[in-house]
Chains A and B, each alone.
Chain A
């Protein structure tokens, strides 16, 4: 029953010599919250701008609701709500007037304004000038603008960026309730894994314009490699011994060794091997790396072909 709402095929875009987005194939299922994760400059905003038709891809295409964005732009945009980077607001108008400016353009019902403002909890502040709004209120008004036309998919670019912890929590709570309450599919970008973990059912990891991983959170967890961390009296000898036996060994800080190994059996046999070789094992611990570490590792290295 799950169908694809948003799909990109080989999406590519360069600026000068820099390939900002490199052959991205996204697939977002209806009713999911898709977290588009990547460090600064990874190409998130560039991708999102292409999803909205704000810039044109050099290659590849964007499909929304099964139709090609380049040939059905207006009908598609009528079903999409978006908040790209900072919200687009007129400071000299009230929150309500800001909504009304866009409502007039869309020609939708006035009721939509009240509803959207209620969702983001700005009903009471609706008639204050946006100039007086806090950063959190501005962001929520931006979200209300995105919700105004009752979209089927919401595209949010770093929706919590720049907010204080309370603002971040509020914004996340708002986003989290959307799929259940209104059946909206959410595509959101973030540079924080923790945020994506909290909000998303699916993740796409982008780094230097390339997609490194795409799938459900559970699949990302399954990708984790368990490791055995060892404390040995002569680490270099131990590393040699283990490598000879076919284990993958990494040097850790304070002269610990980490070995790619699964389960207690591996742990026991590694220990036995080292002891047999006359080494003293004084520390041994099975470790499941956090997603944060995995993500950090993935995006710490340059991607082949990512930059010229």
Chain B
């Protein structure tokens, strides 16, 4: 445990001045901005509706279907890329710390970063609502939002994405190529479009985040459950695979 904390503290310092760190704030901000402009632009159309709901569902779906899977791909690839390009694996794995702690620290760091993004997303939704209540009073955003609901949705999406987090951490650590990691992530997200209509859609990992806020309780539960359990299994298997390999 002490070793894991030490490895985490070491990881956190590596984030200084990185694009990966900025992306934690930029990625949710882009999604918020998009939904903000939809509401701002078409205020007449949305006036009189459950505007907080529109904001919340709009933001969450763009985030869960599209932004989050790609964001996870990018963050894991950037973080592992620091080690690949610095040729640091041989240094890290020759230190007197268990190899699994190096792997676990990487995974936990990305998990932490995505969690922060999730919080930023919720805060952003509230901020966007507040701003719209001033700029577009006719939307009636001054009524208070259902904060619990907002936070719950974001957290469920996050939990369901664990499987992608674990998978991409493994891919990015196992293979040096940024293009490979990015390709896998983009392909996964792209095929989600087709899988969403199909019956296997509920077993397709790249759909788990969006399924986690599905109106069908069965789909929702399955996505979160498989997201967490699948994530744990892939995390352990990935770690096992990487720590036993020859270090380049």
Contact = CB atoms under 8 A, between A and B. Distances in A.
Nearest to A100: B13
A82 B2 CA distance: 24
Nearest to B244: A56
Nearest to B88: A88
Nearest to A103: B10
B94 A53 contact: yes
A80 B96 CA distance: 9
Nearest to B105: A105
Given A49-B247, A55-B247, A88-B86, A105 B97 contact: yes
Interface stretch (A71-79, A174-182, A195-203, A264-272): A71-79
B7 interface: yes
A75 to B, nearest CB: 7
Given A49-B247, A86-B87, A105-B10, A92 B17 contact: yes
Given A101-B10, A104-B6, A106-B95, A54 B86 contact: no
A101 B6 CA distance: 10
B13 A77 contact: no
13 contacts: A74-B96, A77-B94, A80-B94, A84-B90, A84-B94, A85-B87, A85-B90, A88-B89, A88-B90, A93-B13, A93-B16, A102-B95, A105-B7
A105 B97 CA distance: 7
Contact of B95 (A49, A89, A90, A105): A105
Interface string B7-21: 101100110111000
A153 interface: no
Given A54-B93, A100-B13, A145-B91, A92 B18 contact: yes
A76 B93 CA distance: 13
B127 interface: no
Interface in B77-110: 82, 85-98
A88 B96 contact: no
Interface in B13-64: 13-14, 16-18
Kindly state the interface size class of chain B when it binds its partner.
20 to 34
Interface of A: 49, 52-56, 74-78, 80, 82, 84-93, 97, 100-102, 104-107, 145, 149
Contacts of B2: 107
A89 B92 CA distance: 11
A89 B90 CA distance: 11
A55 B98 contact: no
Most chain-A Cβ atoms within 10 A of its Cβ — which of B14, B18, B86, B88? B86
Contact of A55 (B10, B18, B246): B246
A97 B16 contact: yes
B201 to A, nearest CB: 40
A53 B92 CA distance: 12
Q: What are the 8 closest A-B residue pairs judged by CB atoms, nearest first?
A: A88-B91, A78-B96, A54-B247, A77-B96, A104-B10, A88-B88, A55-B246, A52-B94
Most chain-A Cβ atoms within 10 A of its Cβ — which of B7, B14, B90, B247? B90
Contacts of A75: 96
Given A74-B98, A90-B14, 15 more contacts: A49-B90, A52-B94, A53-B93, A54-B90, A54-B93, A77-B96, A78-B96, A87-B87, A87-B91, A88-B89, A88-B91, A92-B82, A104-B13, A105-B7, A105-B97
Most chain-A Cβ atoms within 10 A of its Cβ — which of B6, B13, B94? B94
B139 to A, nearest CB: 43
A97 B13 contact: yes
Given A102-B10, A105-B10, A90 B94 contact: no
B35 to A, nearest CB: 33
Nearest to A84: B90
A102 B6 contact: no
A108 to B, nearest CB: 10
B96 A106 contact: yes
B188 to A, nearest CB: 29
A276 to B, nearest CB: 65
Contacts of A54: 90, 93-94, 246-247
A18 B28 CA distance: 51
Contacts of A80: 94
A177 B14 CA distance: 32
A86 B87 CA distance: 8
Contact of A93 (B17, B87, B97): B17
Contacts of A53: 93-94
B77 to A, nearest CB: 16
A53 B14 CA distance: 25
Given A55-B247, A93-B14, A145-B91, A104 B9 contact: yes
Contacts of A101: 10, 13-14
Contacts of B88: 88-90
A74 B97 contact: yes
B3 to A, nearest CB: 8
Nearest to A52: B94
Interface string B237-248: 000000000110
